[in-house]
Every structure is written in structure tokens, then in C-alpha cells.
């Protein structure tokens, strides 16, 4: 059972005295740390602005086909824009676009391939968001599971799990990930001739798996430490004494006490994975063509950054703003769960 700590009680009484009239104080009931955090988060202006920005990008990603269909029909090609069709008739023999930003191409077209840049940008929000949320969810599940097992069982399984955590934490992860992704890709796609789309889809899932494999340790260590101290507490010992099965002790008694740290860690993981994906795509081990990805666009556009900034900047701004908003929201969530923080 989540027990409100002394600090939470103080916090609560302060809040009540500042927000409600004195006569309501007698009917005050206890609130869980989650409810307290939610109440604090709702009053945090930075968190609300960040949430609005994240919502904006979520909507762009979900309604990307609709947004792209709002662009006018191109007078030269006579077709509506889409993220993957190559239009070499829109670029000159140097590869530079012959058309600028217009009603048909809100951000112009891509040098060399002539693809519509707005469509690439809108669709590019999708892999970032999917990878960020899926990888954060999966690594949270893995981290919590291993942390619970190690911390609660102790003994040999704990030793093995702690050793594996130490082992993974001391690897030069970026370099290893860069090396493993193409190897895994080859192993999965061995022999067969794949279309670029299939290669791209395989790469997408390989990327998520690798991010989870190398991303669960921090939370596992945190959960393990917390569980180790919680299992000695009276309420857990009481549950054990009256014969509550281990699974119920883990999920009913111990896990609810860890909701705060788990939510905080998951919310910080989302921007971290998006950054990781973009970095890997930039270094050439992330997403591959024809998937539209902000990281890849930045890598491609840097060569023409001075002559054609419209290629580089939308992705730079999109990526930076999304990751910034997610990180600051994560910070706000952490502060909301931390009874000692006062900004």
C-alpha cells in the first residue's frame, strides 16, 4: 500500500490551506502520491506548454496524410504531393530544385530527388514518436521486471542481474549499437533480395529492439535498490507472514510504491530514445530510405545547408522542439513527484 510520507503530508496541508477555504479542512481525505503529483503538474505552466507542443506533433504525425493533401496540385507534375514519389522534373541538372516554396510545396522540394519537403517533414514525425514511445514502454517493462526479480529474490539471481547491469553500463554503447545494427540487419535479411521498403521496415524494428536491449539498465538498477529496501518494511513482512503469494506481494504491495519513479523514468526515456534514433540516423546506422526521418533529413541536408536552408531547418526545429518539450515535461513530472522540490 502506498504510504504517504511525512513530506507529502506537509505538502498536502500547505496546498489545502492555500487553495481551499478553512471550513473544508475537516473533510480532507488522504491522497495518493500520484494524485498529489497530478495536482501539482496541472498548475505547472511549463508542463502545460510542453504538453501542447507534444500534442501538436502527435497530431501532425497522426494526420500527416490529411495535412499533405491540403497542398495544391503541382502545375508541373500535375499531381498532389506525397512523401515518397521522386520528381526529377522539379530539379535541374545540378540537382538543385527549380521550384521554391509554393502552395503546391509549402517547404519546397528536396534537392536531387525532388520529393515534397513538407510531406517528408510531416511523415518524419511518425518514426520519431513511435520509436520514442514504444522503446520507452518496452524498456520500462524490462527494467521493472528485472529490478523486481533481482531486488526481491536476492541471492544468486540478484548477483547475476546486478552483474549484467554493470556489464551493460560499462559498454561503449553508442559504438556497439552502431556496429550491431547493420549486423542484425544482415542476419535477419540474409539471402533474400528485399525491396527498399522491406529493408526500411526491418531496420525500424531492429532499431527499437536494440534501443531496448541497451536502455533498460538505469531503471532496473533504481527499481532493484528500492525493492531491496521495501521488502524489509513492515507491511511487506506482514503480507509475507499471513501467506500472501509472492506474485501478489510484488504487484500489490511493492509495485504501487514505485509508480512515481517508474513514471518519471519512462517520461525521461521517451526524449532520450528519440534523440538516440535521430543520432543513429544521422551517423548512418538508424533509419534508411525511403522512410522519412528527421535525423536522416538533417544528415542529407547538411551538405547544402548554406544554399538550401529550407531542407535543413524544418527537421532541426521539429526534432529540437519535440525533444525539448518531452524533456522539460519529464523534468516537470519528476518535480511533481518529488516532495522536496520547490522551484
Which residues of this protein are in contact with other proteins, per CB under 8 A? 163, 166-167, 170-172, 174-176, 178-180, 182-183, 186-187, 190, 271, 274-275, 278-279, 282-285, 298, 302, 305-306, 316, 319-320, 323-324, 327-328, 331, 343
97: which strand partners?
91
Maximum CA extent, the chain: 81
Report the 10 Å Cβ neighbour count for 138. Answer: 19
Whole-angstrom Cα distance, residue 40 to residue 207?
36
Minimum distance of other proteins from residue 102's CB (angstroms): 26
Minimum distance of other proteins from residue 188's CB (angstroms): 10
Which CB atom, from 69 or from 341, has the smaller least distance to other proteins?
Answer: 341
Which CB atom, from 139 or from 275, has the smaller least distance to other proteins?
Answer: 275
| C-alpha closest to that of 311 among 127, 94, 107 | 107
SS3 196: helix
Minimum distance of other proteins from residue 231's CB (angstroms): 16
Minimum distance of other proteins from residue 156's CB (angstroms): 15
Report the 10 Å Cβ neighbour count for 28. Answer: 11
Which CB atom, from 293 or from 327, has the smaller least distance to other proteins?
Answer: 327
Which CB atom, from 189 or from 259, has the smaller least distance to other proteins?
Answer: 189
Which CB atom, from 31 or from 221, has the smaller least distance to other proteins?
Answer: 221
Which CB atom, from 102 or from 279, has the smaller least distance to other proteins?
Answer: 279
| C-alpha closest to that of 98 among 72, 68, 74 | 74
109: which strand partners?
116
Instruction: Break the chain down into helix, strand, coil percent, rounded to 5.
Output: 70, 0, 30
Minimum distance of other proteins from residue 278's CB (angstroms): 6
Whether residue 296 contacts residue 73, with contact meaning beta carbons closer than 8 Å, is answered with no
How far apart, in Å, are the Cα atoms of 342 and each of 17, 176, 301, 324? Answer: 17, 40, 43, 21
Minimum distance of other proteins from residue 279's CB (angstroms): 5
Which CB atom, from 235 or from 308, has the smaller least distance to other proteins?
Answer: 308
Minimum distance of other proteins from residue 296's CB (angstroms): 13
Report the 10 Å Cβ neighbour count for 32. Answer: 16
Which CB atom, from 81 or from 177, has the smaller least distance to other proteins?
Answer: 177
CB under 8 Å to 76, separation ≥6 — which residues? 87, 89, 90, 99
DSSP 98: S
Minimum distance of other proteins from residue 207's CB (angstroms): 16
Report the 10 Å Cβ neighbour count for 231. Answer: 18
Amino acid at each position: 500500500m502506498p504510504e504517504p510520507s511525512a513530506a507529502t503530508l506537509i505538502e498536502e496541508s500547505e496546498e489545502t490551506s492555500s487553495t481551499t477555504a478553512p471550513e473544508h479542512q475537516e473533510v480532507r481525505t488522504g491522497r495518493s502520491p500520484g494524485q498529489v503529483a497530478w495536482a501539482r503538474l496541472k498548475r505547472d505552466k511549463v508542463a502545460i506548454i510542453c504538453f501542447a507542443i507534444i500534442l501538436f506533433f502527435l497530431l501532425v504525425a497522426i494526420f500527416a496524410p490529411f495535412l499533405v493533401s491540403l497542398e495544391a496540385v503541382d502545375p508541373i507534375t500535375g499531381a498532389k504531393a506525397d512523401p515518397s514519389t521522386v520528381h526529377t522534373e522539379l530539379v535541374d541538372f545540378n540537382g538543385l530544385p527549380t521550384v521554391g516554396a509554393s502552395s503546391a510545396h509549402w517547404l519546397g522540394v528536396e534537392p536531387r530527388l525532388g520529393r515534397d519537403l513538407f510531406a517528408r517533414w510531416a511523415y518524419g514525425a511518425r518514426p520519431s514518436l513511435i520509436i520514442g514511445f514504444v522503446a520507452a514502454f518496452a524498456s520500462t517493462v524490462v527494467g521493472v521486471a528485472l529490478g523486481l526479480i533481482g531486488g526481491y529474490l536476492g541471492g544468486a539471481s540478484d548477483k547475476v542481474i546486478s552483474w549484467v547491469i554493470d556489464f551493460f553500463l560499462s559498454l561503449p554503447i553508442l559504438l556497439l549499437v552502431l556496429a550491431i545494427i547493420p549486423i542484425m540487419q544482415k542476419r535477419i535479411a540474409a539471402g533474400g533480395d528485399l525491396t527498399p521498403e522491406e529493408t526500411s521496415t526491418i531496420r525500424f524494428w531492429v532499431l527499437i529492439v536494440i534501443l531496448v536491449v541497451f536502455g533498460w539498465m538505469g531503471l532496473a538498477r533504481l527499481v532493484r535498490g528500492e525493492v531491496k529496501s521495501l521488502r524489509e518494511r513492515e507491511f511487506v513482512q506482514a503480507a509475507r507472514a499471513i501467506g500472501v503469494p509472492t506474485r501478489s506481494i510484488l504487484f500489490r504491495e511493492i509495485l504501487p510504491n514505485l509508480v512515481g519513479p517508474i513514471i518519471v523514468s519512462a517520461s525521461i526515456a521517451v526524449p532520450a530514445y528519440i534523440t538516440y534514433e535521430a543520432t543513429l540516423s544521422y551517423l548512418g546506422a538508424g533509419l534508411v530510405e525511403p522512410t522519412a526521418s528527421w535525423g536522416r533529413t538533417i544528415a542529407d541536408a547538411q551538405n547544402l545547408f548554406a544554399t538550401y536552408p529550407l531542407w535543413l531547418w524544418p527537421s532541426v526545429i521539429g526534432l529540437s522542439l519535440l525533444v525539448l518539450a518531452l524533456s522539460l515535461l519529464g523534468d516537470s513530472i519528476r518535480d511533481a513527484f518529488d516532495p522536496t522540490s520547490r522551484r
